[in-house]
Amino acid sequence: MPRVRVDGHTIDLGNLDKVLYPQTGFSKAHVIDYYRQIAPALLPHLAGRPLSLRRCPDGVEGDCFFEKRCPGHRPAWLPVHALPSGSSGGIDFCGVDGLPALVWLASQGVLELHPFLHVADDPDRPRVLVFDLDPGPPAGLADACRIGQLLRRMLAETGLQCWAKTSGGKGLHVYAPLNTTVTYARTKRFARAVAEVLSRNDPEGVTATMAKAQRSGRVFIDWSQNDRNKTTAAVYSLRVGRKPQASAPLDWDEIDAALADGDTEPLRFHPDAVLRRVAEHGDLFRPVLGCTQTLPG
């Protein structure tokens, strides 16, 4: 088995040629290499956070599953974050504190990284307000972008700036950083009220309800992820889908431009395109970590 040294840690890399995205031939080697190259932009967004992992050991067309408990065969140097869960003891989640941890997870067939919205040391304080805009077919990314722009202006009226990223599928994630004193009870209630007001004003285009029947042709604004037990796919995380795509930060102006062109396809990014964008523009999502804002009300 090939063995690499990453910042002083030895990692075994098995099955590097295994194709994880059969449609395009994107292999485990590609996955590891993508995470290695995106690390400088990605790592700050994972620091201190417990992670839920989505693994596809047999590729995206095989069984994929979410893993909360950090595998027992993890290397001793991999950080773990214990979070209480249920009545007996807690769950040890994997963490990522540097390149070796990221490479090790990728070597385990982990495709998606889903951090909690809080850091392990301060589990009652969400750092951001999150809206997951998920279009139900025949609605698509363009509809999510249109609603995203309206949501952005609405939040601006309440005094909150927000940043957007593609989900890496057909949706849009909108993050309003807080990084101040707040509780999940407040962020969840606020996010839900925002979603319900948008839905009430545009019942044909927006729903705030999870039920599949309600979602067809509408953009579902998922407010429920503002919860201490929920996770959202990290910025720059690869996503499980037919073709390899990563969750990529977007500039609001490029969303406007794409909507004006009537074509949002250019807003979907292959991992290589994400790497090129970061090389060119840096981490567009960096302000989400530093910007301090107060939840209105």
Partner 1 sequence: MPTSFWTGTVSFGLVTIPVRLATVVQAHGSNFHLLHDADHARLTRVMVCPVHETPVPPDHQTRGYEIEPDTFVPVSYAELDSVAPEASRSIEIEDFVTADAIDPVYHDRPYYLTPSEEVAKPYRLLVQILADTGRVGIGRFVLRGREHLAALRAVDGALCLVTLHWAEAVRPRAALAPKADADEELVAAMTAALDELATDFDPARLTDPGHERLQQLVEKKRSESGTVEAPVPDLGAGEPGEAGGEPDALMAALQKSLERARAGETGTAATEDA
192 part of the interface to partner 1, by CB under 8 A: yes
**Measured from the CB atom, is 254 or 272 closer to partner 1?**
254
Hey, CA dihedral for 265, 268, 274, 279, is it positive or negative? Answer: positive
Among 44, 71, 123, 287, binds partner 1 (CB under 8 A): 71
- On whether the CB atoms of residues 235 and 44 are closer than 8 A, the answer is no
Cα–Cα dist 104/110, whole Å: 9
Whose Cβ is closer to partner 1: residue 155's or residue 274's? 155
Q: How far apart are CA 70 and CA 47, in angstroms?
A: 16
Q: Which is nearer to partner 1, 179 or 209 (CB)?
A: 209
Contact present, 32 and 107 (Cβ < 8 Å): yes
For position 153 contacting partner 1 by CB under 8 A, the verdict is yes
The residue (of 68 and 286) whose beta carbon lies closer to partner 1 is 68
- 65 makes contact with partner 1 (CB under 8 A): yes
Please report whether residue 8 would count as binding partner 1 according to CB under 8 A: no
User: Residue 167 has what DSSP assignment?
Assistant: -
Nearest residue (CB) to partner 1, 193 versus 279: 193
3-state SS, residue 220: strand
Closest distance of CB 286 from partner 1, Å? 26
Residue 3 binds to partner 1 (criterion: CB under 8 A): no
Does position 76 bind partner 1 by CB under 8 A? Answer: no
Among 19, 209, 273, 289, binds partner 1 (CB under 8 A): 209
Question: Quick check: 183 binds partner 1 (CB under 8 A)?
Answer: yes
Question: Residue holding tokens 């523009």?
Answer: 281
Task: Using alpha carbons, select from 162, 180, 157, 182 the residue that is nearest to residue 172.
Answer: 162
Distance (Å, whole) CA 238 – CA 35: 9
And the tokens for 271? 């991992």
Q: Please report whether residue 266 would count as binding partner 1 according to CB under 8 A.
A: no
Q: Is 96 helix (H, G, I), strand (E, B) or coil?
A: coil
DSSP 8-state code for residue 187: H
Examine residue 179 and tell whether it contacts partner 1 (CB under 8 A). Answer: no
Least Å distance, CB 211 to partner 1, is 6
Quick check: 282 binds partner 1 (CB under 8 A)?
Answer: no
The reply to whether 83 sits near partner 1 by the rule CB under 8 A is: no
Q: Look at strands 163-166 and 249-250 and give their pairing.
A: antiparallel
- Looking up tokens 């590097």 gives 16
For the bound state, the minimum distance from the C-beta of residue 213 to partner 1, rounded and expressed in Å, comes to 9
List 32, 56, 198, 234, residue binding partner 1 (CB under 8 A): 198
Closer residue to partner 1 in complex, CB, 28/268:
28
The reply on whether position 137 binds partner 1 by CB under 8 A is no
Using the structure block, give the residue that is written with the tokens 């490029």: 254
